[in-house]
């Protein structure tokens, strides 16, 4: 008798002010196989910080251009309250140097918005969560 696949649930905080981009993420996550995502969206860093003070998530999807923070500043502000949470940056810029700086400043990965597919985002989220866990083990 075959063993059924276990359905994994991953909680996500999506920090994004663009409704169109938020819809793309939501649609891509609905197409994921063997994973169920609990998605919460906020539109700025202040709302993300407030949410994280009272809620736990597995990963944060962070847009780098928000009304109250731009670029790496948004990552740095969020990292203060999200010490042990995987962060994936979502960007429209194909700038390898900025991506490397983001990784050095605490992001686990980044994904170009024009590459948002169910497979890409699911894989990126899983890898980011795994990297964050490994980083915690190394520093413990």
Query: pLDDT class for 2, splitting at 50, 70, 90?
Result: low
Q: What is the pLDDT of residues 62-115, one digit of tens each?
A: 998 898 988 888 888 998 898 899 999 988 776 677 777 888 888 999 888 888
69-70/65-66 β-pairing: antiparallel
Query: pLDDT class for 5, splitting at 50, 70, 90?
Result: low
- pLDDT given at position 4: 54
Ordered by where they begin, the domains of the chain are: 8-120 (3.40.50.2300)
Closest CA to 42 of 91, 9, 78, 79: 78
Q: What is the pLDDT of residues 26-76, one digit of tens each?
A: 999 998 877 889 999 999 999 999 999 999 999 999 998 898 988 888 888
- For residues 12 and 4, give the distance between their C-alpha atoms in angstroms, rounded to a whole number: 25
The pTM of this model reads 0.89
At 60, which helix (H) or strand (E)?
Answer: strand 59-63
């Amino acid at each position: 008798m075959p063993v059924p696949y276990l359905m994994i649930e991953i909680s996500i905080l999506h920090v994004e002010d663009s409704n169109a981009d938020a819809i793309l993420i939501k649609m891509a996550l609905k197409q994921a196989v063997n994973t169920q995502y609990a998605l919460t969206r906020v539109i700025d860093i202040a709302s993300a910080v407030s949410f994280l003070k009272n809620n736990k998530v597995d990963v944060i999807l962070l847009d780098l251009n928000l009304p109250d923070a731009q670029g790496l500043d948004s990552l740095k502000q969020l990292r203060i309250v999200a010490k042990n949470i995987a962060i994936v940056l979502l960007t429209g810029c194909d700038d390898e140097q900025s991506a490397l700086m983001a990784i050095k400043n605490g992001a686990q990965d980044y994904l170009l918005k024009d590459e948002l597919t169910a497979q890409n985002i699911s894989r990126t989220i899983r890898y980011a969560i795994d990297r964050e866990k490994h980083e915690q083990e190394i520093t413990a």
